[in-house]
Structure formats: C-alpha cells, structure tokens
Structure 1
Amino acid sequence: MRQIDAYCERTDPAFWAEPVNALTNAAFLLAAAVMWPRVRGLPLARALCVVLGLIGIGSFLFHSIATTWAAMADVLPILGFILLYLYVAHREFWGLGRWSALGLTAAFFPYAAATAPLFGLVPGLGSSAGYAPVALLIGLHALFLRRRAPATARGLALGAGLLAVSITFRSLDDPICAALPLGTHFMWHILNAVMLGWMIEVYRRHARRSAPL
C-alpha cells in the first residue's frame, strides 16, 4: 500500500491528484472497443483486445490510487500484451509451431534483461529504458519480415515508430515538469493506445491477406 509519486502531474496522494493522467487511460478502452468488432473470427486478436482494455484499467488504478499494488496492476497487463503479441507474431507472421513460438516468446525475458540496462545508459531516457527494447524488437521483426511479408513489415515499422515517439513523451515528463506542470505522461497513454490498437490491426490485416480464397 506504499504511495508512489512518480509523475509530474501528481502533487499529493489524493485519488484525483493526476486527473489528466488518469482519464486519458480511456484511450486504451476506446482502442480496444474499436478493434473488437474488427477482429471477429480471430481469437488471439480478441484476447489482445481484452488485454488492451486491462491496460487501461490497470493504468487508471495506478494514476489514481498510486500505490505499489496499483503499479503492478499497471505493469502486468502491459507485459501480458507484449508476450501475447510476440506469440502471435511467431505463430502468424513467421509460421512457427506452438512450442517454438512459446520458446521464442519466453526468450523476451533474457533479451529485455540484456538490453534494458544498455538503454538505461542513454541520457534522459530514465525509467522509460525498460520500454525501449520493445520498440527495438518490433523494428527488428519489421526489418526481417520485409521480404516475407512486406505489408506486415511496414505496419510493424510504423508501430515501432509510434512507440518511440510515445517513449519520448514519457521520458520528458520529469525533465520539463517545472515549465509544464501538467507533464507529458498523458501523451504516453494516448499514443500508446493508438500504437497498441494499430498493432492489433497489423495482425488483422496479415491474417486477412493470409486467409485462403
């Protein structure tokens, strides 16, 4: 139940101390609602929509209650989305079997453990260094898929770019707090919601192109 004060907008432990950061989590719910009817017939995409909604709920809890357990409610759905999408990518984009896809998905943990400290050396990145390996990984998938599935590769590249911009806004929240008391973390929510919804759309379009005529 320890209180956490991690963002520019929060100035006290009150529930509504971060109203903009809290309310912009509706963008995740909106993105999930928009994508839900579009992915009918794709169970894994439907699961991604559910996790996307949970990201919005967990992040709302963190930016309102702002305790250690609420931070876990914020972080775990994000990790869940990353792992589920990696499994989808290995299965659908690369055509791997179930166990191979699961093994490569599990490899995300040592990959993140190895690369996050390197990104931590980048000046100004701060706590956002933990998310930078995800943008890099999406970009690598885009690079290596460019011949196998060029349209999907372009979609993933756009997703990586959106995430990079989103991470930039997250990183700026503390450094510019004195000049902008609202902070910039709310843009992380909005851009991330767009990016995650787009990543589900990339999968939907790939599945449609791959479906037998």
Structure 2
Amino acid sequence: MDPTTAIDLYCERSAPGLLAEPLNALSNLAFLIAAVALWRLARRERAGGPMPALLIALVAVIGVGSAAFHVFANRATLLADVIPIALFQFVFLGAYARDVMGWRRVAVMGLLGLFVAASALAESLPAHWLNGSLGYASAVAFVGWLGWEHWRARRPEPALLLAAAGLFLLSLALRTVDNAWCERWPVGTHWAWHLLNGGVLYLVVRGYVLGRRG
C-alpha cells in the first residue's frame, strides 16, 4: 500500500481527506489536557526525576501521534499512533513495580517479560475479534491487577487505579462497538475511546506519582 493511501478503520472515516475524522482527531486533546494536569500535579508533589517526566511526555506524545493518524491515516502515522502507546504501557508497568511496589530489578524484568508475552498472545489472535481491541486485553488485566495492589496496600487514594481499570474497560467496550454501530451512529464511538483514555492515563500516572511518596 502507498504510505499516502488513507487507512479506513473507523466509522467516522467515510471519505478520503484530512478532515474525514474530525471527532476522532479533536478528541485527542484529552491526552494533552491530561499531560498538562499531570505536569501540574508533579510540580505540586515535587515529583522529581526522569521517570515522572517521561511518563507525562509519553501521554502528550500519544495524543499528538493519535491525532496525526486520524488526520492523515497512513502507515507512517499509524506507527506514530501505536508506538507511543506501547512504550507508555511498558514504561509505566516497570516504573510502578520498581518505584511504588519496591520490586527488585530481576522481578521487574520478569513482570515486563510476562506483559510482553501476554500482549503478543493477544495480538496473535484474529484481528476481527472485538474489532481489533483484543490487543488491549492484557493492558486492562494488568491495570486491574495494579489497581487491586494499590488498594490492598492502602496507598494514597487507594481506589485510584481500580477506577482507572473500570474506565479502561468502558473505553475498550466503546472502541469495540465502533464499526458495529456505523449504520445507527455514523460518527462511531472511537472518539469516546480517546476521551476516556485521557482519563485513564491521568489516573494511572497520578497513582504512580502519589504512590511513590506513599
């Protein structure tokens, strides 16, 4: 496929062109708003060091990359969309295990290996299952597990990551039904996935920042 050829994956893209997915593009502002809110939180909590800054930067880059994909919809912007998401998941999981849970390096590496294996297994399943959302199933499961651990350890705002897991599950459901609802709801539901996931990323990084001092 020519890299300039539009990739049509969502209800809202019913024609070629830069403005074919206005809601899917503009809804990525949720990630930029989350990044600004997290930057202010990190300053208030005096969360220094490279890791909080890296996580906040990745939240912003996710928003920019996803917006670029929904405007241009080609192979290059598809990579700009998916790579920051994968990096964020990997970095956040390792950072939380190390800095909040206090795991040693070997244990953290084992956890990351398990996450990569689970994600690869999910990605190997047929792409049409759950409208391509199955690849995020491992991320939902791991956020749920971290939510239980955050609550069990009575860390600051103990229900924070459980709330993130619930919001993530709802956003994944909306992503899944996008194409199925095209006839009844032409703009689809993918934009809601963006809005809710901006909240998910805010909650999980907030849990990390507060958990480090807790």
What is the TM-score when the length of structure 1 is the normalising length?
0.88
Change (3 A) 1:116 1:156: farther
Matched residue of 1:78: which SS? helix
Between Structure 1 and Structure 2, how many residues are aligned?
A: 207
Whole-angstrom CA distance in 2 between matches of 1:26 and 1:142: 26
Map of 1:94 onto structure 2: 101
Matched, 1:9 2:15: no
1:76 to 74, 78, 83: 83
Matched, 1:46 2:67: no
Whole-angstrom CA distance in 2 between matches of 1:7 and 1:31: 24
- Following superposition, the deviation at residue 127 of structure 1 comes to 0.3
Map of 1:58 onto structure 2: 65
**1:132-170 superposed Cα distances (whole Å, 9 cap, x missing partner):** 211111112333454334556522211111100000111
Change (3 A) 1:181 1:21: same
- Following superposition, the deviation at residue 98 of structure 1 comes to 3.3
Where does structure 1 differ by over 6 angstroms across 4 or more consecutive aligned residues?
Answer: none
Moved more, 57-66 or 38-47: 38-47
- 1:7 partner letter: Y
- Following superposition, the deviation at residue 202 of structure 1 comes to 0.8
Whole-angstrom CA distance in 1 between matches of 2:26 and 2:118: 33
Map of 1:178 onto structure 2: 183
**1:20-41 superposed Cα distances (whole Å, 9 cap, x missing partner):** 1101111111110111021133
The answer (yes or no) to whether the contact 2:131–2:177 under 8 Å persists in 1 is no
Matched, 1:24 2:27: yes
Whole-angstrom CA distance in 2 between matches of 1:9 and 1:30: 23
**1:110-133 superposed Cα distances (whole Å, 9 cap, x missing partner):** 121234557x69x96220111121
- Following superposition, the deviation at residue 206 of structure 1 comes to 1.0
Moved more, 27-36 or 87-96: 87-96
1:36 to 36, 39, 59: 39
Matched residue of 2:159: which SS? helix
Whole-angstrom CA distance in 2 between matches of 1:30 and 1:150: 25
Change (3 A) 1:150 1:207: closer
Residue segments in structure 1 that go unaligned for 5+ positions in a row: none
1:102-181 matched pairs, under 5 angstroms: 102-116=109-123, 125-149=130-154, 154-181=159-186
Percent of aligned positions that are identical? 34
**1:34-62 superposed Cα distances (whole Å, 9 cap, x missing partner):** 11021133331221110000000000110
Whole-angstrom CA distance in 2 between matches of 1:184 and 1:25: 13
What is the TM-score when the length of structure 2 is the normalising length?
0.88
Whole-angstrom CA distance in 2 between matches of 1:138 and 1:153: 14
Matched residue of 2:180: which SS? coil
